[in-house]
Structure 1
Amino acid sequence: MRALPLEHGEEIAFATAALALRFGERALEEGGHAPAPVTAEQLIEAHRPEDIRHDLWTTFQRVQENVIQGGQPGRAPSGRHLRTQPVRSIDRGVSLNRALWMLAEEMRKLKS
């Protein structure tokens, strides 16, 4: 996965799918009832200099960290400022990690 470079649009596509996994598909619909509090751009944001690479592995790691650990500034549907919460449920964390891994595997197959 480290050998597979991703373009910015591919990173955004990966993060958008992760948003649907974390916050539900309705969060992606325009005019949905519960929009995601963060954007795909925020999920691919690097927090350390060593994470500023554009390959599938690093993108997967950044998105996984941002989805599971939370802490990104966002907005509630009411418009108030908030920070995303970490995933505290072990079952939810495991299922999110599995789904993100499957997403990365499928991206790898597409890029190969």
Structure 2
Amino acid sequence: MVTLNLSPEKQSQAEISVILSQRKSNGYQESSLVQFKKVNYCNFIDQTWVRHSVEHFYSHTNFSETKCPFTPGTYFIKDFYPDLSNPPVIPNGQYRMDIHFIYDNVIINGAQAVFIVEF
């Protein structure tokens, strides 16, 4: 469950970090394949190239909007898996994706997913 209680005005100032890390023998190491650190949330999800992944993500949540601003509330993510049907080149391996929602330089919420890529 993720609770996002930012007003539409504050959402325009909110940021998101999405970091993909690959599992190595000594733990997870950040990958250069997906590295978005503290980018404007609304600008990020409204970009055309992100739209396919965002819509796939939303199909596994109770989010009612697919664009900014969204209605503040508590949301769930259920049975989500990354859509790798049209990915950038992602080598086989185990990965962890960390997503942080940030406002005023403070992480206000986040999520973490671990998944395996095998082709």
Which bin holds the TM-score, normalised by the shorter protein?
A: 0.3 to 0.5
Structure number with the higher strand fraction is 2
Structure number with the higher helix fraction is 1
Q: TM-score, normalised by structure 1?
A: 0.34
Structure with higher Rg: it is 2
| Higher RCO, 1 vs 2 (CA within 8 Å, ≥6 residues apart) | 2
Q: TM-score, normalised by structure 2?
A: 0.32
